Structure 1
């Protein structure tokens, strides 16, 4: 059964080089085992989702430009997450601030082709159906 995600949950991106942690602002006014609980709308780049080290996606214009300058040799560049869409699917039967709560099996797509997913949920005991 999936766990509720809260502030401090660890994430990875398939196109990133390092893990990152989720930042959840206390705007939802719900705590989960201490830190603020997240819903699917906690996907804002550089607010909720911080950089994953360097980006290796050729779809990223900065990486593409650096790769072209290096005569076609893939050249990773600093990650700037570009997450326009919310996390999917979330837990649709449990609402938090009128949106589905975020569980640790949800994924978020980066505009540059990376898939962001959780390695830890930030909670241990709180499960969502």
Structure 2
């Protein structure tokens, strides 16, 4: 069993140089531990996925530009999440707003090359079978 993810969950990216936070809007009308519960469609950059403090992925155009300006020295730059696809796989045994619930086993792919995962689910009471 995994934990259900909700608003204020802490996220980690393989190329991020610090944590980020998940924001879940109350549009799904489902709460867990008095916070809006997340589903796999809560992947929209800047709406659901806040930028990580810095990015060091060479696939990120900002990092590539900063590295070029530093004459080839790898240089972290601002993060702008590029999360075009939903979280995978989600938990199909529990639906929230007709979409699989987001659980701690789910991952989110950044188009620049990073893999985002949940490190703190935002609540510790509800498990998903």
TM-score normalised by structure 2 residue count = 0.97
Indicate the residue corresponding to 1:93 in structure 2. Answer: 93
Written as runs of structure 1 = structure 2, the 5 A alignment for 1:1-129 is 1-129=1-129
Deviation of the 1:18 alpha carbon:
0.9
- Secondary structure of 2:73 counterpart: coil
Deviation of the 1:22 alpha carbon:
0.6
Deviation of the 1:70 alpha carbon:
1.1
Unpaired segments of 5 or more residues in structure 1? none
Unpaired segments of 5 or more residues in structure 2? none
Richer in strand (by share):
2
Deviation of the 1:93 alpha carbon:
1.5
Matched residues, number? 129
Q: Structure 1 stretches (4+) deviating beyond 6 angstroms? A: none
Q: Deviations over 1:40-83 (max 9, x none)?
A: 00000001000110110001111111111211101111111010
Deviation of the 1:92 alpha carbon:
1.0
- Aligned equivalents of 1:21 and 1:69: distance in 2? 30
- Aligned equivalents of 2:121 and 2:28: distance in 1? 17
- RMSD, matched Cα: 0.7
Q: Deviations over 1:59-116 (max 9, x none)?
A: 1111111111211101111111010010000101211101000001100000111110
